[in-house]
Chains A and B, each alone.
Chain A
Amino acid sequence: SQTIHQWPATLVQPVGSPLSLECTVEGTSNPNLYWYRQAAGRGLQLLFYSVGIGQISSEVPQNLSASRPQDRQFILSSKKLLLSDSGFYLCAWSYSGSMVGAKNIQYFGAGTRLSVL
């Protein structure tokens, strides 16, 4: 079966410090990978998605970046965090477009609560 691991669960970082959140998927090959941010009481905001190694699409311009160094590894980074980067970050995967019946259903990790102080 497929599993998704996301860590850390919580993180408190000072303004201006770097960030690295990691997400890995097991049990499937060539998944689509996603990073979302969720503000309190708000919907999920898609930040980045990737359909293959080294392929990153950015949805929202900001001081965050994403990388996919391996097929099932997705990393969210920042060189200098802002107060506005605080939030709940979620990694997700879906079956690749070649999967019949995939329907882009999203399978989420447990999330990372980031507080920038």
Chain B
Amino acid sequence: SQKIEQNSEALNIQEGKTATLTCNYTNYSPAYLQWYRQDPGRGPVFLLLIRENEKEKRKERLKVTFDTTLKQSLFHITASQPADSATYLCALDTGGFKTIFGAGTRLFVKA
């Protein structure tokens, strides 16, 4: 079955730096890969989607890459701010009705 691995250790960075989060998956490559943000005690919020034939996608300070050879996606936040502190979830569209989520990586941005 499809598995998703995200770094379970929290990522601590200084304000203004670029945060890079990693998502690795096993088995087949999904057609789409999604990234969500989750704040404590809240539901996840969709951020970005990237297709398998796209190498890179950008939205404001966010950038996502998708390497189907490495079976990996990287999520970058440039010029990070304390307000970016949250848990970021990677998710794979299985092509049916279901989406598989990783456990997420917690990001702390220190002022």
Contacts and interface: CB of A to CB of B under 8 A. Distances in A.
B69 interface: no
Given A41-B8, A103-B93, A104-B93, A46 B44 contact: no
B94 to A, nearest CB: 8
A43 B43 contact: no
Q: Interface range on chain B: under 10, 10 to 19, 20 to 34, or 35 or more?
A: 20 to 34
A43 B104 contact: yes
B77 interface: no
A47 to B, nearest CB: 11
Does more than half of chain B's interface fall in helix, strand or loop, or is it mixed? strand
Q: Interface range on chain A: under 10, 10 to 19, 20 to 34, or 35 or more?
A: 20 to 34
A90 interface: yes
Interface stretch (A14-22, A62-70, A79-87, A108-116): A108-116
Interface of B: 4, 8, 32, 34, 36, 41-46, 49, 89, 91, 93, 97-104
Interface of A: 6, 32, 36, 41-44, 46, 49, 51, 57, 59, 88, 90, 92, 94, 97, 103-111, 113
